[in-house]
Amino acid sequence: MFGRKPRLAWLTGVLTTGVAAGLLTAAPAHAVVGPAVKDGDFAFTAQLDIGGQRSCTGALVDPQWVITAARCFADRPDQSTKVEPGAPKLKTVATIGRTDMSGDKGQIADIVELVPHADRDVVMARLAKPVTGITPVTVAADPAAQGETLRVTGYGRTEDEWAPERLHSAEFTVKAADTTSLKIGGADPANAAICAGDTGGPAFRTVSGRPQLVALNSTSWQAGCFGVDAAETRRDATSTRVDNLNSWVQNVRYRPVFAGAPWAKATHIATGYFTGGSAGGTRHMDMIVRWNDAEITLYQGSDEKDGRGPFSAEYQLAAPPKPGKTSIWQYAKQFTGAGFGGGTDGLIVRWGDGELTQYAHVDKSGFHAEKQLAKPKNDKWPHARQIAMGRYTANAQRDDMIVTWDDGRVTLNSDLATNGLNAEKTLMKANTAWKEAAQITAGEFTGKKTADLLVRWSDGAASIYPGVDADGFHGDISVRPRMSFWKNATVVAAGAFAANDRANDIMVRWASGAVSLYPGVDAAGTHTEIQLVH
């Protein structure tokens, strides 16, 4: 309970006009007639109090973002879904994770910013503070099929309660679908309906025990709902699809950090677990960026438990030089994140004069345990073109290094933490083709026992070499054809950015300064492009 207005007062603001007249699109859907939800279930469901005048429902899709129906914030929700971006006109409070509204569980936060979708009844609402301890729901990547059963949750009316205190849930069947919406009806038509109190409520499927958000409640006939004319018998509803808005949702989530940094000036990106965590845990990977003024920034990856958004924590590891001064980082030619065992990940840096340096650990406070692997102005390392650290041998906790050379050779140095540069093996003899490898990065795209190698070629082609190991390459997978727009990629890095199980997301900084994220790259290639910076 919010305690400042009786719940009845703000529920009476929910619109029901148009139902009796048979206008489906004029009657916002607002809640679910169905069984009460057990404490703690579907905790990502959010209850919204909008100025004490309206009640809506939403879904937590990020520790600091709730997605809901845009019409919740429209001046005339029965006539329009148009909402201006920015702060909501009415003070809006979100309660997340409180199954029983008469209790005190869950968390409460003001909504301080609205980001409406351009042409759909959807809005992203930013919370004043991130939610902790509640796992956001994942936006589905696959559309709902006709006949599929989805679950809908909501806080509003039931068939015999004007202002129920508990979250309710029911199953609905997809009857039809188009590019923007779903027509749904109760799986048990006599006992399921969407009623007043839950505009924006989530419709989701569960896959391997994890919910996937498919759509949001938009409009409903509301038969069987408390206060609706008994002559109304129609229970069907219309939900707005969000499965095909995944890129837009992710763009909004990542916007705070990517909108505030000069990404056109990013020259290098290294990924790893520099601030703790590991693959398969709750942490996403961190990212280290070198800018063209030699400043070095560490962006901490989000954690499902700490309530941080994507890369929301930022640390300066090296400041740009003062006027008339120089910085060692001005001379970094390449660097790559690496795991050397025993703590946070580190870096391998190749400098312009051929020196090669290992930093065994990097964290929020800087670079630690520096070791010179190759001296400056040596005869060998000035001829290296690209370097990439990855798990290419049996050393699960310590990475190996793949190097491309200016004569087209490709070599593997195994377990630098133990062997230094001594254990080198040639994977590819000198050749013309590998001279054209413009960028390389290690990733885990195919699920092989060892890491894959992503190569961006100078002609715009991109390839994945699955499961590279000491025996060499084992086939290749074309990700982009020759003369593709990837010819304009200037920085390519792989990491676990959008998920935390495998380093199979790709970050690309383009020559224009734009930045794209490709989540979930696999043996079939890149599936979705999220434009983080346009």
* CATH code for the domain in which residue 267 is found: 2.120.10
430/253 Cα distance (integer angstroms): 45
pLDDT of 226 > 80? The answer is no
pLDDT higher at 470 or 307: 470
Find the mean pLDDT for residues 226-233: 63
The residues with which 454 forms a beta bridge, in sequence order, are: 441, 464
Find the mean pLDDT for residues 9-35: 34
Its domain, for residue 37, covers 7-244
Residue 252 lies in a domain: no
pLDDT band at 70 (very low <50, low <70, confident <90, very high): very high
pLDDT of 482 > 70? The answer is yes
> What's the pLDDT score for residue 4?
24
Residue 99 lies in a domain: yes
Residue 268 lies in a domain: yes
Q: Are residues 236 and 265 in the same domain?
A: no
pLDDT of 372 > 50? The answer is yes
pLDDT of 9 > 50? The answer is no
Domain stops at, among 220, 244, 268: 244
pLDDT higher at 113 or 302: 113
> Coil, strand or helix: which one is 155?
coil
User: Within 17-99, where are the H helices?
Assistant: none
Percent of the chain exceeding pLDDT 90 equals 62
- CATH number of the domain where residue 188 is located: 2.40.10.120
Find the mean pLDDT for residues 352-363: 96
Number of domains in the chain: 2
Kindly report the backbone phi and psi dihedral angles of residue 249, in degrees, each rounded to the nearest multiple of 5, phi listed first.
-60, -45
> What's the pLDDT score for residue 500?
66
Q: Are residues 193 and 226 in the same domain?
A: yes
Residues 447-478: tens digit of each pLDDT: 999 999 999 999 999 999 999 999 999 999 99
Find the mean pLDDT for residues 253-274: 89
pLDDT of 25 > 60? The answer is no
> Exposure of 157 by Cβ count < 10 A (0-12 exposed, 13-18 middle, 19+ buried)?
buried
> What's the pLDDT score for residue 182?
95
For residue 223, give the DSSP letter.
T
Residue 452 lies in a domain: yes
Cβ neighbours of residue 89 closer than 8 Å, sequence gap 6 or more = 51, 73, 75
Domain stops at, among 219, 244, 269: 244
Sheet holding 332-338, edge to edge: 332-338, 346-351, 356-363, 366-374
Find the mean pLDDT for residues 81-95: 95
Question: Residue 419: enclosing H or E segment and its boundaries?
Answer: helix 416-419
Domain stops at, among 244, 274, 290: 244
> What's the pLDDT score for residue 16?
26
> What's the pLDDT score for residue 169?
86
Q: Are residues 314 and 353 in the same domain?
A: yes
> What's the pLDDT score for residue 428?
97
> What's the pLDDT score for residue 11?
26
pLDDT higher at 396 or 72: 72
- pTM, two decimal places: 0.78
> Coil, strand or helix: which one is 246?
helix
> What's the pLDDT score for residue 13?
28
> What's the pLDDT score for residue 157?
61
Residues 108-148: tens digit of each pLDDT: 999 999 999 999 999 999 999 989 889 999 999 899 999 99
Q: Are residues 192 and 276 in the same domain?
A: no
